[in-house]
Structures are given as C-alpha cells and as structure tokens.
Chain A
Amino acid sequence: MSFLAARRRSPLALLVLILLGLAFTGTAYAALQPTASPGTSSASASADEIAEGRELFLGNCATCHGANGEGNGNDGPSLHGVGAASVDFQVATGRMPLPAPGVQAERNISQVKFSEEQIEALAAYVDSLAPGPDVPEEQWLDYAEGDVDNGGAVYRTNCAMCHNSSGTGGALTRGKYAPTLMGVDEQHIYEAMLTGPQSMPVFNDQNITPEEKRDVIAFLKSIEEGGNDHGGHTLGSFGPAGDALFAWTLGVLAFIAAAVWLGRKAA
C-alpha cells in the first residue's frame, strides 16, 4: 500500500488512472455487449437470370446458406420457399450478405452490395429453388392512395407493441430489437410485413390485406413527413423517457442556475 501511496502524486498517476478507467470501461462494455448467434434470412423466384443469380449466390451466400440454399444449421437458415420478397428485403436493405455475425442483421442502406439487376437475379435464383412470396406490385406501394387513419389502427394493433406507436423502434430480448421504421423504403416495409424477417412475425395477405399494408405504409409515411410533430421538439418520440431525460438535465439545470443566480444576488 505504501508503495502506491508514495507514488500517488507522481505525474504518471493520472495517466495510469486514465488508462485503468478506459480499460475497465471498454472491458465492461465488451462484456455487456450481446453476443448471440446470427439471426435468420430469405429468397424468391423468376426467369433465365437464374444462371446469373446462381453465380452470385455461390460467390456471396453459399458459405452460410449452402450451395443449394439448403441452409447450414445455425450459420444460415434454409432459403427454400422464402421468396423473392425476402431476398429483396434482406439484400436491398444491406442486411445480407451479413458483414459479421451479430444478434441480428442490421439495416445498412449505405452498404448495399449489389445492383438492382443483381438483386433481381439473386431473387430469381432463390425463388427457383422453391417458390415463395414475390415482391409487391406497384399499386400496393402507392401510399398516396392509402388510408392513414385505418393504417394507424392496423399499425397500433399489429406493429406498435414492438416498433413503438410512433415507429421509432423498440427493444426485444437478448439484444435483438425492432428497428425504427422512419426513413425505410415503402417496398421494404411491405416486404417485411409479407415475409417476417428475423424476429418479426409474418403478416400474410390473410392477416393484413394488401390494401391494409398500403394503409400502414401511408400511416408511417405521414409520421415521417412530420404528421406528429406538433408542440415542439419530439425528443425522439420515445415517450416519457425523453421527457424525464429533458426534465432532469436541461430543465433542472435551468432552474438551479436561476436559483443560484438569485441566491447570490446581493440585495
């Protein structure tokens, strides 16, 4: 102890403390970071792009999903019957090919690896293995035709419990999460409902009709376009947590600063 005590004024002490602090913070973060097995994935069907698709598939997907998309245990699910909608959703949002194993594949729109044609070819190949849901028709993506208030009702019944009533996302178990729906392309919203990627349930056309899916998209786009932004800054639309954070930081600082100022002021 006296060895340490004698050196506590040393200029190196500060450096050592900072290093220890950084090391412990980093280690604690690494220890707490969720490390579960990778999530799930997808596919679809079409024409003679199949050959091109097969080439792309063997080069980029087969490592995990198997040479014929039959899957490989925990490393990659079978893609038989996942459909073109699923392939388009996973690949065009940058989730697949998975850059690194994680709790779930993250949307990464700036890292989409393939062109639209290539994605279509991939989808055609995967769909050729065993057919599944196709990418949505244009008419169901034209959300200007959608009914916002019905979309809100459908959304609150089916989606809000995970994605939050304002579409900002929410937590699931073991580090998984329902991502934010703000800024997501309408085609991808539709495909997610249709194919139920990762932890999401499938909402097929019997659960939620194509019209209702379009309504949900219209509802989400109305939020995105500022339909809820009344009364000032929304603090991230996370409900009372944001309000509390504001009240206990900026709010409380403003009040205490005023009190200190007034308490100091000589009469």
Chain B
Amino acid sequence: MTTHVPQGADHLRSDDTGPERPVSQTDQSSPDAKFPGALVWADERVGAAKGLRFALKKVFPDHWSFLLGEIAMYSMIIALITGTFLTLWFVPSMGHVTYDGAYVPLKGVGMSEAYASTLDISFEVKGGLLIRQLHHWSALFFIVGIALHAARVFFTGAFRKPREINWVIGVVLSLLAAIEGFAGYSLPDDLLSGTGIRAMNGFMMSAPVIGTWMTFFVFGGEFPGESIIPRLYIAHVLLLPAIIVGLFVLHLALVVIHKHTQYPGPGRTNDNVVGFPIMPVYAAKAGGFFFVVFGITALVSALVQINGVWVYGPYDPTQVTAGSQPDFYMWFSDGALRLLPGWLEFTLFDTVWSFNIFLGSLVLLPLVWMVLGAYPFIEAWITGDKREHHILQRPRNAPTRTAIGLAAISMYLVLALACVNDILAIKLGLSINDLTILFRTLFFVLPVLVFFMAKRVCLSLQRHDRERVLHGNETGRIVRTPEGRFFESHEPLDEYERWALVDYETPTPTGLTQGPEVDRRGVARRRSPLSGLRDRLSSFFYTDTVSAVTPAELAAAHHHGEHDALEEASSPQLGVPVNDSIGDDDFSDPHGSAVHAPPRHH
C-alpha cells in the first residue's frame, strides 16, 4: 500500500522500509532481543506490537497544507490543558458578591462570583492571566486552524469519495467548536459576555411560537436568572469537549483508515501514498509542529491582551458598551442581523413575528453548516462521479468548485464584516448607514463577481499550465536565426514538474455521457424527474473546462515543432475524455526511458 520515493537521507534508513522485517519473527523475550523491556512486556499482555507496527508504518505525504489541520488539533490540545487549569479557580456561579480583590477600579463593585473569580484568575492567581490569555488565543487559533483546514480540504477536493463522512464529521466539529467558543467567552459574566448571552436570549425568543418557552427553559426563568452560567459551564467543560474529542478521534481514525490524500506528482497514484512513515520522520515533524504552535500561541498570549474582562466591568442588563462584538466566528450571524431590514418584524394574530432576528440567527446558523455538510453529496450528484479519489485536485483544475467556494467565502465575509460595521465606520471615517447599504448590496453582488472572476482566473491558470507543458518555460532569451527571424527560446519542463501539470482529468457533463435521449430502436431513455436539472447543473459545472495535455498533444508539440500544428492539436475540447489512460502512457515513468524528444524550437 505504501511506497517510498528515495529522497534526502532516505537511503540511511533503507532497511527500515522493507516489507517484512525479520526481527519481528524473533523471540522477543530472549536475551538477544533489542526491544526495550517495557515494549516486550506490553506486547505480551495486550499485543501492542501489532498495533504499533500498523501505526508506525503509516505513511504521511509531505505538504505544508496538510499541517493546517494540525494547527487546529494542537490549538485544541492547548485549550484543553489551559482550560483544565482555569477550572481550578473559576467559580461558575451567578451568586452575588462584592469585589474586594487586587484590581482597584472595581473594588467595592457588586458582581457575580463568576466575574469575581475571573478577575482573581487574572490578577491574583500566579500565571493566571497568561493561562487565561493562552486559553482564549488558542481557542481563536483552533477555529482559525479549522477554517484553513476546511478550505484546504474543500479546494483540493479531498472531501470526495470515500471521505464524505469525514467531511461531515469535520463540519460538525467546526459547528461544535463555534458553540464551545461561544459558551466559553460567555462564562466570565462581564459586560461584553453578558451582552452576548442577551443576544442568544433574543435569538431564541425570535423562534416563532415556541420562542418564549424555549428561553424560559434554557435560562430557568426570566433573563438573566441565575442558571445560565452554571449551565453554559457544564456544556463548556464537559459536554462539548467530550463530544469534540470523541468526534476528533473518529476524524483521525478515518484519516488512518482512508489513508492520507496526496497532491499529484511523479509516482503518486490513486492506489498508493508517497511520503514518510510516522517513525521517525513524521513523528518528529508533527511533534515539533506541536511545539511550534504552542510557542507561537504562548508568545502571542504573553504579548497581546485578549478579552480583558476588567475593561468591561460586571454584567448589568441595563448597560451595554459600544463596540460589542462576539468573537469572529459568530460575526456572520450578528452581521446578518445588522443587515436584515426592520420591516421583517410584524404583528400577526396578536403575536410578534421577529423574522428580522429569526432569519439571521436560528435559520442562518444551522443553514450555513448544513450547506457545508451537504456539499460533497451535492457535487457528487451533479458530477455523477462515483469513483474513489485519493489524488487531490489543484484548485485551478476544478474551476467551478473553486469559484463556488470563493463566492461562498465572499458572502460569508460580507456578513462577517457587517458585524464590525461600527468599528469600520469610525476607523475609516465612513457612515454606518452607507456601510449597511454597501454590505446589503455586496451580499448579493459580490458572490456573483467573485464566482466569475475566480473561474476565469482558474481557466487562465489551466491554460498557462498547458502552455508550459507544451512549450516549456519562457526563458527571456531571444534568438535570431540566420534568416533574420526572432523567437524566444523555451526551456522544456522536466518530467517531474510536468507530471503535476498533466495529472488531472477533465470530466464530461452527465448529459453527454448517457447517450441519446432515444436509442436506435426508438426507445426513450428512462429519466428520473431530476435528471434534466442534473444535466444542466453538470454542464454548468464543467463548461469551459480546459483539459490536460494528452501525450498525443505533447508529442505533436515536440515532433512537429511548428506552432500551427500545435494549435490544432492542443485546442481544448469539451466533453472529450482525454486523460483516462494517464497511468499507462508516457508520463507514467519519470525515472525510466526518456520518451519525449526535447522540444526543438530550431
């Protein structure tokens, strides 16, 4: 299942990579065995050797973008460790106390025990403020890591069969991470977090018919009550972390079961994984990366204040501060509320229907994650692609998906920025009303613009790739022939480089693969009610695709050396499967017999 390309110091370990090592056959309890006693002990009792061998032989491909998920993983671990520390001092209670701690500007002010204990952690517990800031920064970086990782998986098509379930698990994890974050920053019971809880209270109340009952159930009575902090606390420290860790383990287990995806490259096929085994290389890299992530987070936490709860003062429902925003991962929902027009709230049947809030919160929040989770299935249905994929796509080679993803991100960003419209207004000297109109317009216009721009950029990049494969890289050297003609000489790509540029397929819209509507005997093809829609979507998905250079085109480019011949051979044709036999042709052996004559540009 695994292959190694000899690389770097690999030959030093060449004996590590044999398919079966004789040492595994030896009597491990004999005095000659080279295994540490503890391992032997463990193997004899729980059969650790088998599992260890499986785990240690796992091969991971090398690419920086595969480390983005690890940023999230390590940030989560940092948040777990620092969070445990915080529970030793935090008092999850809304019981009333008068503050008499070290922070002078709040001395004698009445507040909840939750807020007072957060102040104590910040000002009196040794290292408490640093740990608090580590906890909050790592929580932010956790979500940043998730977003980057999700973007990588999306834009490279790593969610395709067989990894759809793992994508869904990841989507659920990102939702839980956001809820966990919300529960966390709500706990200190300062003016800002209380305002956030008040917003949540309003979200729930906007639910038609059941809203009021739902809020009373969650808050144990009228807002704010005395139950919400203890309830959020148990969700934050027990319920959500348990589910997150459980799903995370499943997420990783599925990565192991599916094996890691890899970018196209020489020697990489749909049936292998090219990379380094866990021991020793990958363990060193991944372990080292943990410390890099921890180091950066610690540095940031030591130098940059985050959520200085003392700035806000204790929560009091009669107060609010300008610049109240949630943490960034909740911005899009808050931003939607700022953009939704007020006339969406109306009275009908003696009841107020707050659709101006309902749509931006209780509808939008689940909708975003549902669309995310459903995307792999929608795309698979549209493209009709039921094969397994272990080779990633470069984003440019899936232009429509890349454009859809970027359009969705632009939509999300518009909503998110609408949430900081007040900060943008004062920092840029703009009017908040104009910004609202601008964002309302951009919400509809920007995704369309971004879609077309992204798609055009992808297609141009694909054409550029074709150009490079067929003609080589521009050198900037102008050659003059004895007849007086000028041309720029091109340097041919080497085979390794070329591989990555041609190893992708250009699918055919489903409408073109199923034969005519009516066959020779006059029998109409059976069509499901949705197949017309599907065919249309499919051709939308694959319209304008630029196909990879085929060996024939390359040969034509090289052997004829004439540009007109080239143009003919290389013009991309829609709907012609050109690259099916990529594994069996000239490209397949980067080491072996050179098959292409170097391009002859005279």
A interface residues with partner B (beta carbon < 8 Å): 32-34, 36, 103, 148-149, 152-153, 156-157, 160-166, 168-175, 177-178, 219, 222, 227-235, 237-241, 243-244, 246-248, 250-252, 254-256, 258-267
Contact = CB atoms under 8 A, between A and B. Distances in A.
A22 B300 CA distance: 36
Interface in B260-287: 276, 281, 285
Chain B interface: which size bin? 35 or more
A171 B293 contact: no
A165 B105 contact: no
A162 B322 contact: yes
A33 B429 contact: yes
Nearest to B296: A254
Interface stretch (B63-71, B208-216, B469-477, B540-548): B63-71
A164 B323 contact: yes
Contact of B319 (A157, A162, A267): A157
Interface stretch (B3-11, B227-235, B375-383): B3-11
Contact of B308 (A157, A174, A228, A267): A228
B308 A160 contact: no
- 7 closest pairs, A vs B, by CB? A170-B322, A263-B64, A175-B431, A244-B328, A34-B431, A165-B321, A171-B422
Contacts of B104: 148-149, 222, 227
B106 to A, nearest CB: 6
8 contacts: A32-B438, A163-B322, A164-B322, A241-B325, A243-B306, A250-B300, A262-B292, A263-B62
B506 interface: no
B129 to A, nearest CB: 5
B325 A235 contact: no
Contact of B144 (A156, A163, A231, A251): A251
Given A171-B423, A175-B431, A251-B300, 13 more contacts: A149-B106, A152-B106, A157-B318, A160-B191, A164-B322, A171-B422, A171-B426, A177-B426, A230-B305, A237-B311, A251-B296, A256-B148, A259-B68
A173 B285 contact: no
The prevalent SS among residues of B at the interface is helix
Contact of A161 (B63, B67, B322): B322
A250 B402 CA distance: 26
A255 B145 contact: yes
Nearest to A265: B285
Nearest to A166: B311
A93 B102 CA distance: 36
B316 interface: yes
A109 B596 CA distance: 75
Contacts of B145: 255
Interface in B34-92: 62-68, 70-71
Contacts of B313: 152-153, 156, 160, 165
A152 B105 contact: yes
Given A32-B434, A222-B105, A227-B105, A248 B144 contact: yes
B68 A170 contact: no
Nearest to A155: B313
A234 B308 contact: yes
Given A160-B321, A243-B140, A173 B316 contact: no
B117 interface: no
B311 A231 contact: no
A231 B148 CA distance: 28
A186 to B, nearest CB: 17
Contact of B434 (A34, A246, A267): A34
Contact of A239 (B63, B109, B288, B323): B323
A261 B291 CA distance: 14
A235 B421 CA distance: 18
B109 A152 contact: yes
A36 B66 CA distance: 52
Contacts of B435: 32
Contact of B322 (A178, A235, A250, A252): A178
A169 B426 contact: yes
Given A149-B104, A252-B148, A264-B64, A171 B425 contact: yes
Contacts of B321: 156, 160-161, 164-165, 239
Nearest to B275: A267
A248 B312 CA distance: 24
A160 B423 contact: no
B434 A230 contact: no
Contacts of B429: 33-34, 175
A32 B289 contact: no
A261 B67 CA distance: 11
A157 B314 CA distance: 11
B125 interface: no
A246 B304 contact: yes
Contacts of B66: 263
A153 B313 CA distance: 8
A180 B344 CA distance: 35
Nearest to A164: B322
Interface string B127-148: 0011001001100110011001
B326 interface: yes
B310 interface: yes
Contact of B323 (A157, A238, A250, A254): A238
* Most B Cβ at <10 Å: residue of A103, A169, A244, A266: A244
B199 to A, nearest CB: 13
Contacts of A241: 323, 325, 420, 423
A170 B325 CA distance: 12
B71 A244 contact: no
B320 A161 contact: yes
B441 to A, nearest CB: 12
* Most B Cβ at <10 Å: residue of A148, A156, A174, A237: A156
Contacts of A33: 429-430
B287 to A, nearest CB: 11
A230 B122 contact: yes
B285 A262 contact: yes
A258 B289 contact: yes
